[in-house]
């Protein structure tokens, strides 16, 4: 029986994991059983006719910023902060009631909104709404507050205990990795279903078209250059210094390390360190953040802005030396576009992904001769490279396809509604 599904988050816009995975869920829910999805958020790039945008629900709203500045790194909470949180939560709860009425929602899917406390009033509002209505809900958890050091000291432990996530009989929890499943049970006594991030591996990646066929020349690469892509933001946990070290050890001026995104809101100290390191190692490192956007368009200079999916087909190898990831969307994207990968053995990779039997150039927090030689072999031996990427595609299709997601969502829907 088709149902109206209400997705809730602080933001459904851009290429963050929450926005991307929620869109995949909506696609599978529609293709499988004709469930219709609607979107509640503070910012949205979804169709206006199926969206309910409440600016106060965005984690970057001024009121949210004011609250967060007075909740973290402090151990006592001013009564005024409590009052402001309460007022904001009451307002947002009212908008949730209106959202559900307007679109006749049957089931809610909070996306990380009752997981990580970037928008405390919204988490409280969702919790109270579900407690008051008993509406069935699937809480999709991408990263919990205990996984982030910035949330380790604060004066809102009472809110964290009751709403991030809440323990209610009408909620089913979903996590994206085994470690999160274990920690949720250990810390809260709640169970969860593990549903990894997925890709539509039954549908081949689109080849470059007329718009994107000139990517290499537009970012200043020649036909002879070897395009090493780092498809991430410039933040310390991405371990980009290892990518620089690998390219430096290859000792070939044809290798160009291209980083797709900028530093974001975490400061420029790490970026400056990488730039200095690249100079010392003799590595041609380029950041093309001004040429990569969420949608195709032209900038004010008339230059093309490409999406990340326009970039992948043109690279020769992808580096992903992260020290921590909640899952690792770039890893699946690399496999989807049939590109070889250099990956660091971050904890979730070791526990969840590596046992599946993928073939990558793997490093263990240090760049060794073995890693460098493996990268060189991948790039120099086309038969070896083709065998590797086709093997990885087959493995990913088995474990991380839409079919896996479809089965899991049907199980959850049956558990909550009693209907198959």
* DSSP 3-state of 7: strand
Average pLDDT over residues 29-48: 95
Please report the beta strands in 4-47, taking only residues with DSSP state E, as ranges in sequence order.
Answer: 4-8, 11-12, 36-41, 43-44
Q: What is the pTM of this model?
A: 0.89
Instruction: For CA atoms 102, 108, 112, 118, give the dihedral sign.
Output: positive
Which of 148-152, 225-229, 242-246, 349-353 comes out lowest in average pLDDT? 148-152
Structure-token pair, residue 262? 């900028």
Domain 215-399 belongs to what architecture? 3-Layer(aba) Sandwich (3.40)
**pLDDT given for residue 419 in this prediction:** 64
4-198+402-417 with 215-399: one CATH topology? yes
**pLDDT given for residue 264 in this prediction:** 65
> How would you label 29-42 residue by residue, b for 16+ Cβ within 10 Å and e otherwise?
beebbebbbbbbbb
Average pLDDT over residues 56-69: 97
pLDDT single digits (tens) 248-303: 999 999 999 999 998 765 678 999 999 999 999 999 999 999 999 988 999 999 99
Structure-token pair, residue 158? 């009472």
**pLDDT given for residue 139 in this prediction:** 98
Domain 4-198+402-417 belongs to what architecture? 3-Layer(aba) Sandwich (3.40)
Average pLDDT over residues 401-411: 93
Structure-token pair, residue 389? 């990427």
For 145, other C-beta atoms within 10 Å of its C-beta total 18
CA dist., res. 27 & res. 405, Å (int): 11
- The structure tokens 């490093």 sit at 363
**pLDDT given for residue 263 in this prediction:** 79
pLDDT band, very low/low/confident/very high, at 328 (cuts 50, 70, 90): confident
Average pLDDT over residues 171-197: 96
CA dist., res. 195 & res. 261, Å (int): 27
Closest of 153, 95, 107, 118 to residue 18, by C-alpha: 118
Closest of 131, 158, 132 to residue 71, by C-alpha: 158
Average pLDDT over residues 132-152: 95
pLDDT single digits (tens) 107-138: 999 999 999 999 999 999 999 999 999 999 99
pLDDT single digits (tens) 213-254: 999 999 999 999 999 999 999 999 999 999 999 999 999 999
365: left (phi over 0), alpha (psi -120 to 50) or beta: left
**pLDDT given for residue 420 in this prediction:** 56
Average pLDDT, the chain: 95
Percent residues over pLDDT 90 in the chain? 91
- The structure tokens 């929450």 sit at 18
- The structure tokens 């049939």 sit at 338
- Cα–Cα distances in Å, from 393 out to 329, 371, 376? 14, 22, 21
Q: Collect all residues with Cβ–Cβ distance below 8 Å to 419 and sequence separation of at least 6.
A: 1, 413
293: left (phi over 0), alpha (psi -120 to 50) or beta: beta
Q: Which H helix or E strand runs over 382?
A: helix 382-399
| pLDDT surpassing 60 at residue 148 | yes
pLDDT band, very low/low/confident/very high, at 352 (cuts 50, 70, 90): very high
| pLDDT surpassing 80 at residue 418 | no
Q: Which H helix or E strand runs over 391?
A: helix 382-399
Using CB atoms within 10 Å of the CB of residue 262, give its burial: 0 to 12 exposed, 13 to 18 middle, 19+ buried.
middle
So where are the chain's domains? 4-198+402-417, 215-399
Phi, psi of 65 (to 5 degrees): -60, -45
pLDDT single digits (tens) 189-202: 999 999 999 999 99
CA dist., res. 340 & res. 246, Å (int): 15
């Amino acid at each position: 029986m088709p149902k109206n599904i209400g997705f809730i988050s602080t933001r459904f816009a851009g290429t963050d994991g929450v926005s991307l995975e929620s869109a995949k869920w909506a696609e599978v829910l529609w293709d499988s059983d004709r469930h219709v999805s609607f979107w509640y958020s503070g910012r949205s790039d979804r169709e206006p006719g199926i969206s309910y945008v409440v600016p106060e629900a965005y984690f970057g709203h001024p009121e949210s910023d004011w609250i967060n500045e007075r909740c973290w790194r402090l151990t006592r909470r001013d009564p005024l902060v409590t009052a402001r949180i309460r007022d904001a939560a009451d307002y947002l709860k009212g908008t949730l009631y209106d959202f559900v009425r307007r679109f006749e929602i049957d089931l809610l899917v909070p996306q990380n909104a009752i997981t990580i406390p970037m928008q405390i009033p919204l988490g409280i509002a969702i919790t109270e709404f579900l407690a008051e209505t008993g509406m069935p809900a699937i809480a999709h958890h991408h990263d919990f507050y205990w996984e982030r050091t910035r949330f380790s000291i604060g004066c809102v432990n009472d809110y964290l205990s009751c709403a991030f996530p809440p323990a209610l009989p009408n909620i089913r929890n979903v996590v994206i990795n085994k470690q999160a499943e274990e920690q949720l049970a250990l810390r809260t006594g709640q169970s969860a279903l593990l549903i990894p991030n997925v890709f539509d591996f039954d549908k081949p990646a689109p080849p470059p078209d007329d718009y994107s066929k000139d990517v290499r020349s537009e970012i200043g690469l020649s036909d002879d250059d070897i395009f090493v892509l780092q498809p991430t933001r410039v933040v310390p946990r991405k371990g980009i210094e290892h990518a620089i070290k690998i390219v430096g050890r290859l000792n070939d001026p044809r290798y160009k390390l291209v980083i797709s995104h900028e530093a974001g809101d975490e400061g420029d100290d790490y970026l400056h360190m990488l730039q200095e390191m690249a100079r010392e190692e003799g590595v041609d490192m380029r950041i093309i953040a001004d040429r990569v956007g969420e949608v195709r368009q032209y900038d004010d200079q008339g230059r093309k802005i490409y999406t990340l999916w326009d970039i992948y087909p043109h690279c020769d190898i992808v580096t992903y030396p992260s020290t921590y990831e909640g899952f690792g969307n770039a890893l699946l994207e690399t496999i989807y576009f049939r590109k070889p990968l250099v990956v660091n053995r971050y904890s979730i990779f070791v526990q969840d992904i590596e046992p599946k039997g993928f073939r990558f150039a793997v490093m263990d927090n240090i760049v060794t001769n073995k890693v460098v030689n493996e990268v060189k072999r991948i790039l120099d031996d086309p038969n070896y490279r083709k065998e590797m990427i086709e093997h990885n595609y087959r493995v990913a299709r088995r474990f991380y396809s839409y079919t896996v997601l479809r089965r899991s969502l049907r199980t959850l829907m049956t558990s909550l509604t009693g209907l198959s």
